[in-house]
Amino acid sequence: MHSVKFASAKVPLAILAALVLAGFAIVAANAQTVSNNGTGTNNGYYYTLYTSSGSATMTFPEASQYPGNYAISWSGVGDMVGGKGWQTGSAQTIGYNVGSASGYNTISIYGWLTNPLVEYYITELGSLYTADATYKGSVSSDGHTYSTYEHQQVNQPSIEGTQTFEQYLDAWGGSSTGSNHTVTTANHFTHWKNLGMTVGTYNYQILGTEAYNGASGEVNATVW
């Protein structure tokens, strides 16, 4: 986080009731609304929303057709990070499509590692703040080149409470909205390891949108 998805004819009513309830459950899942802070699952994907101040709302408007879909709108946020993906990440190939976006700072493959605790960004749209980070080199993946930085966060919010931890930052930002794109995360994890940056145990991994410094905006994106 920025510091800086007919049985027996003897019981037709029971079957009908079950089908109706199941239908309501599906509608309810697709119509979930998350305000400011929350985690959970929707259509088989993990979601998370963190807001330090201001307001943000996450919904899943197209998830019945595209299970990895999410939308967030935010206003006056100190820091907001939200998205959809996997509760336990991996060195996997991720597809995504950002249908629309405004008022964001970055849209990234975003996640956490533990043992040691690390927050990472593979930034597809927008710009990472790297002014106080250490440049480590570059990596070419999926047709473009990312600049790699490392930065230590001191006494900052994390998945383990307030902690001091490293950030691994692969900065590109030249992607586009309205088209399908791919991120081969294994290329990034291997690159970090080759630089001596420890890749421990995978925690959550999402297509994350971040905004801060009083920003207001919206995003509608899908991950798979």
Q: What is the 3-state secondary structure of the chain?
A: CCCCCCCCCCCHHHHHHHHHHHHHHHHHHHCCEEECCEEEEECCEEEEEEECCCEEEEECCCCCCCCCEEEEEEEEEEEEEEEEEECCCCCCEEEEEEEEEECCCEEEEEEEEECCCEEEEEEEEECCCCCCCEEEEEEEECCEEEEEEEEEEEEECCECECEEEEEEEEECCECCCCCCEEEEHHHHHHHHHHCCCCCCEEEEEEEEEEEEEEEEEEEEEEEC
- Position 161: which residue type? G
- What residues act catalytically? 119, 210
Q: Which two tokens stand for residue 136?
A: 């480590």
